[in-house]
Chain A
């Protein structure tokens, strides 16, 4: 579901100054965007993080940086506007009978910025870097990964075969993101060079006017046959970390498109900017420990249910995430498995939480520790207050290192993370049932059965039934304690840019999807 341009949203505190000056500015003139003319010479995108902080090796970043890197690199498969996988550097693909080998047929007209040509050897050289632990894009296909590739073999100069450790139907979807991006020969040979110099075959090349960490300037790569699909001659990624500053950049005309936080959406809209929105990411507390190894109380399902009832999600959203959606469902609102029943069944009810705790044998509550990061600390402090009200003492400890944050899955009973449910079966098998959120190896027959049912669903009705079962059980079991669904917001200058479209449910629009306003 796309929530395009909602006309009515809750009132939002945009910024202290704006509120204080509201009366002064109420008679302000029309949007200054009117002065901007629609043209295709340059598109400026204000982004919320430094996509090039690790340099220009697309394999060092995850799918979240796809939009930035798809300007410089092409992928083996290409994400289509409807969210499906289409031809990219590979014109076509096929699987063997048991889906353990995927053979890709490559284009023969691709040239990289170093002058090298695409061939099967180059693809092999790229994918053979998968044992390098620094390459985040390859973490799932590396040895021991959920989608391990055991070997990459050159079949012919234009054909390459990927052999998987276990059947991988639908693997082509992985090749639409950074995992499928191919680096030229010089970049693969001397990977250190990618720190400063990209080596791709993408529609743009990096312009020397780039200021690392501040603005990345891409100019059209006339060598690329894909370049004509991209409307703008020049694309500038402007790194603006502060959310209000991004909104200011948009409404003052410095940026044509800006990633907005939900709290600045009203402000941008009030100044005449367009806003496209998409959901799909649920910020969720995840029970790492369902067997009571790190905190005995967490072995009790009723205790986990008590936590569901103890949290005032509406208050959390009102106070800290204005514009986002309080979530009682593990799956997002646009998922087939979403059900409003959970909103009433697990509504905020501290008394019920207390009685569930008593039934579970913890009438006086219990104590545990959760590891926080700078991003999650405030949310966790709000939850901490709610839990304290029912007798549960949750100590919030800031992670002293990345190692400690990662180790928390084994050392603490509860975690907190955004979860994107674009592919529920993948998340269940790769993260929840067998993945890093279940290092204690807990089992739940209902969850396993619902996941298998969803994976095997032959039509939409069957998928909806299975997804609803899965969603309901995830919440009932307390394996997932959802808090709110975050909306991804793309603000745009309506005079210059056509309404922004998302590729299916992917939170990051395709770079090629930005078109000039007609």
Chain B
């Protein structure tokens, strides 16, 4: 059994590594397919060809593609993503500053949408009738509403009309935990609305199925407290698709945070990728793509392992 588990984890880890490697190669090739060389980008349109060639030579752009890729990869695995062509700063240092912003947003929004979604989904499944229809209707609308529109409404109501939360900006946790929480509140709520609705629908469907199970009926007959039946036994039975839904939400929110970052002026990865693509800053683009891929692959890996060990049937297989 233990060997099987170890093999399973090893296989998944290898697949995850392969995925990251493929994305890294693709990002590398796409960046090289972009018009303009690093020399032309960093020196601007007025530069002479000699000056451009000199910079390209210095950056190793004249070497063959495999040589360039493996040089980049060798440095990247040690956490060095090179130097920005635009401002000469370390790409790794820049990403290290931005990752917590996007991660805070995605994690906060995922957590909030999970709590709200599960509570609403369980309520809809258990109460049924009008409550179920209201929750279903609201969830249907919330899934359809674009995040930027929801954000505009929240800002207008909770920052402009009633200054409860700041309208823009991000305060790092180590500067002020209170201001950090306040600065995250509106973007997190904005991103969580759609996620909560999605998870609520997922939870409702799974709970309805779980509540039909024989062991739940037995528990009811033995006078087990309702909350325990619902939130411990039934929810545990229904948890597989819900956990999958939550993980997918995190991945989606991680990638989709660019909307919130733009709307709330937060210096995250979404803003970085927007800037680096528009300025043709190849090392920055590669860095962001690889970091985002690593996060998504890691979450997928954790999801797969969690799924494996949550479901006895899958575990047995």
Report the separation of the CA atoms of residues A136 and B44 in the bound assembly, to the nearest whole angstrom.
Answer: 9
Contact B265 A241 (CB under 8 A): yes
Contacts of B97 on A, CB cut-off 8 Å?
211-212
Contacts A28-B161, A238-B168, A252-B159 given: A195-B89 contact, CB under 8 Å? yes
A214 touches which of B156, B166, B267 (Cβ 8 Å): B267
- Which of A53, A249, A403 lies at the interface centre, i.e. has the most chain B CB atoms within 10 A of its CB? A249
Contacts of B86 on A, CB cut-off 8 Å?
53-54
Contacts A55-B89, A213-B275 given: A133-B48 contact, CB under 8 Å? yes
Contacts of A214 on B, CB cut-off 8 Å?
169-170, 265-267
A64 at the binding interface (Cβ < 8 Å) = no
Contact A134 B275 (CB under 8 A): no
- Which of A50, A192, A248, A401 lies at the interface centre, i.e. has the most chain B CB atoms within 10 A of its CB? A248
Report the separation of the CA atoms of residues A214 and B265 in the bound assembly, to the nearest whole angstrom.
Answer: 7
A355 at the binding interface (Cβ < 8 Å) = no
Interface 1/0 per residue, A230-243 and B, CB below 8 Å: 00000000111110
Interface residues on A, range: 35 or more
Residue of A nearest to B168 (CB): A249
Contact B88 A245 (CB under 8 A): no
A248 touches which of B47, B149, B159 (Cβ 8 Å): B159
Residue of A nearest to B274 (CB): A241
Residues 157-202 of A contacting B (Cβ, < 8 Å): 192, 195-196
A21 at the binding interface (Cβ < 8 Å) = yes
CB distance from A30 to the nearest CB of B (A): 11
CB distance from A140 to the nearest CB of B (A): 11
A404 at the binding interface (Cβ < 8 Å) = yes
B36 at the binding interface (Cβ < 8 Å) = yes
A244 at the binding interface (Cβ < 8 Å) = yes
B94 at the binding interface (Cβ < 8 Å) = yes
A17 at the binding interface (Cβ < 8 Å) = yes
Contacts A21-B156, A238-B265, A404-B35 given: A215-B169 contact, CB under 8 Å? yes
Residue of B nearest to A56 (CB): B87
Residues 14-34 of A contacting B (Cβ, < 8 Å): 15-18, 20-21, 25, 28, 32
Report the separation of the CA atoms of residues A417 and B57 in the bound assembly, to the nearest whole angstrom.
Answer: 34
Interface 1/0 per residue, B43-77 and A, CB below 8 Å: 11111100100000000000000000000000000
B264 at the binding interface (Cβ < 8 Å) = yes
Contacts A254-B167, A401-B36 given: A25-B263 contact, CB under 8 Å? no
CB distance from B309 to the nearest CB of A (A): 40
- Which of B86, B149, B265 lies at the interface centre, i.e. has the most chain A CB atoms within 10 A of its CB? B265
Residues 105-150 of B contacting A (Cβ, < 8 Å): 149
A139 at the binding interface (Cβ < 8 Å) = yes
Contact B263 A242 (CB under 8 A): yes
CB distance from A246 to the nearest CB of B (A): 8
Contacts of B35 on A, CB cut-off 8 Å?
400-401, 403-404
Contacts of A17 on B, CB cut-off 8 Å?
149, 152-153, 155-156
Contact A242 B159 (CB under 8 A): no
Residue of A nearest to B166 (CB): A254
Interface 1/0 per residue, B27-43 and A, CB below 8 Å: 00000001110001111
CB distance from B149 to the nearest CB of A (A): 7
Report the separation of the CA atoms of residues A402 and B85 in the bound assembly, to the nearest whole angstrom.
Answer: 15
Contact A53 B160 (CB under 8 A): no
Contacts of B262 on A, CB cut-off 8 Å?
241-242, 245
B79 at the binding interface (Cβ < 8 Å) = no
B10 at the binding interface (Cβ < 8 Å) = no
Contact A248 B46 (CB under 8 A): no
CB distance from A136 to the nearest CB of B (A): 7
A238 touches which of B40, B169, B279 (Cβ 8 Å): B169
CB distance from B285 to the nearest CB of A (A): 14
CB distance from A404 to the nearest CB of B (A): 7
Contact B275 A50 (CB under 8 A): yes
B204 at the binding interface (Cβ < 8 Å) = no
B271 at the binding interface (Cβ < 8 Å) = yes
Residue of B nearest to A239 (CB): B265
B201 at the binding interface (Cβ < 8 Å) = no
Interface 1/0 per residue, B239-272 and A, CB below 8 Å: 0000000000000000000000011111100011
B157 at the binding interface (Cβ < 8 Å) = yes
Residue of A nearest to B170 (CB): A214
CB distance from A226 to the nearest CB of B (A): 27
CB distance from A416 to the nearest CB of B (A): 17
- Which of B149, B159, B168, B266 lies at the interface centre, i.e. has the most chain A CB atoms within 10 A of its CB? B168
Contact A212 B45 (CB under 8 A): no
Contact A18 B280 (CB under 8 A): no
Contact B267 A245 (CB under 8 A): no
A85 at the binding interface (Cβ < 8 Å) = no
CB distance from A244 to the nearest CB of B (A): 7
The 9 A-B residue pairs whose C-beta atoms are closest, nearest first, are A214-B267, A195-B88, A401-B35, A248-B167, A17-B152, A133-B47, A240-B265, A55-B87, A252-B167
